């Protein structure tokens, strides 16, 4: 299975994500490991998008997700060097985030929820970062970039290439 074949819309994965999100108030590290293992059963490894979903749903930092994957020899996590997240929340949308997203997607040569063939970068959307007044917001790894315009897309993409 190539990296590109990992599909976050896979029905079994969607069901697993929904099941986990519905029980988020009862999340424990054990439940998180269960989620990661189930995701691996579906895809053959734990895709980056499943790691990010686990982090968002369970409110664990990505570092914890990665540490857990390292701790369990049975788990194999897909790795990526850079993660680019574009806000598609209403306020950022109103300021042009769909155009920014498609320009970033074109520049990186990948669609949303895809990882580049060299495993270097992954593109994802986020509904809101909580910095609505400063949108369009783009998060590159841990660096939040505010007031993003189309003119800035090349520089942003150079950070991860
Ligand atoms: S809508 Fe983009 S940060 Fe809130």
pLDDT tens digits, one per residue of 1-12: 444 468 889 999
The answer on pLDDT for 157 being more than 90 is yes
Distance 61 CA to ligand 1 centre (A): 20
Q: Best substitution site from 100, 125, 128, 134 to test ligand 1's pocket, by max atoms within 8 Å of Cβ? A: 128
CATH number of 82-160: 3.40.30.10
Q: What is the pLDDT of residue 5?
A: 66
Mean pLDDT across 17-45: 87
Residue whose tokens read 């697993």? 16
Distance 76 CA to ligand 1 centre (A): 33
Write the CA distances from 26 to 22, 29, 56, 62, 97, integer angstroms: 9, 10, 15, 19, 34
Side-chain-side CA neighbours of residue 7 (13 Å): 6
Mean pLDDT across 85-104: 98
82 bridge partner residues: 121
Q: Best substitution site from 89, 96, 98 to test ligand 1's pocket, by max atoms within 8 Å of Cβ? A: 89
* Pocket flag, ligand 1, residue 77 (CB < 6 Å): no
138 bridge partner residues: 86, 145
Q: What is the pLDDT of residue 114?
A: 86
> Which residue puts its alpha carbon closest to atom 1 of ligand 1?
89
Cβ-based neighbours of 12, under 8 Å, separated by 6 or more: 42
Ligand 1 atom nearest to 97, measured from its CA: 2
Could you give the CA distance from residue 140 to residue 160 in angstroms, rounded to a whole number?
Answer: 8
Distance 42 CA to ligand 1 centre (A): 32
**What is the tens place of the pLDDT at every residue in 96-117?**
999 999 999 999 999 998 888 8
Give the alpha-carbon dihedral of 127, 68, 142, 136, to 10 degrees.
-10
Q: Please, which pLDDT band fits residue 57 given cuts at 50, 70 and 90?
A: confident
Ligand 1 atom nearest to 91, measured from its CA: 1
**What is the tens place of the pLDDT at every residue in 35-54?**
999 999 999 999 999 999 99
């Amino acid at each position: 299975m190539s990296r590109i074949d990992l599909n976050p819309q896979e029905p079994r994965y969607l069901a697993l994500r929904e099941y986990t999100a519905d029980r988020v108030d009862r999340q424990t590290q054990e439940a998180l490991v269960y989620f990661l293992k189930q995701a691996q059963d579906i895809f053959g490894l734990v895709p980056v998008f499943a790691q990010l979903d686990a982090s968002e749903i369970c409110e664990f930092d990505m570092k914890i997700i990665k540490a857990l994957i390292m701790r369990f020899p049975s788990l194999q996590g897909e790795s990526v060097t850079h993660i680019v997240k574009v806000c598609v929340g209403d306020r950022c949308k109103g300021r042009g985030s769909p155009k920014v997203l498609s320009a970033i997607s074109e520049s990186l040569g990948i669609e949303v929820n895809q990882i580049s063939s060299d495993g270097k970068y992954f593109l994802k959307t986020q509904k809101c970062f909580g910095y609505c007044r400063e949108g369009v917001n783009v998060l590159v790894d841990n660096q939040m970039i505010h007031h993003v315009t189309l003119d800035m897309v090349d520089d942003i993409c150079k950070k991860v290439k």
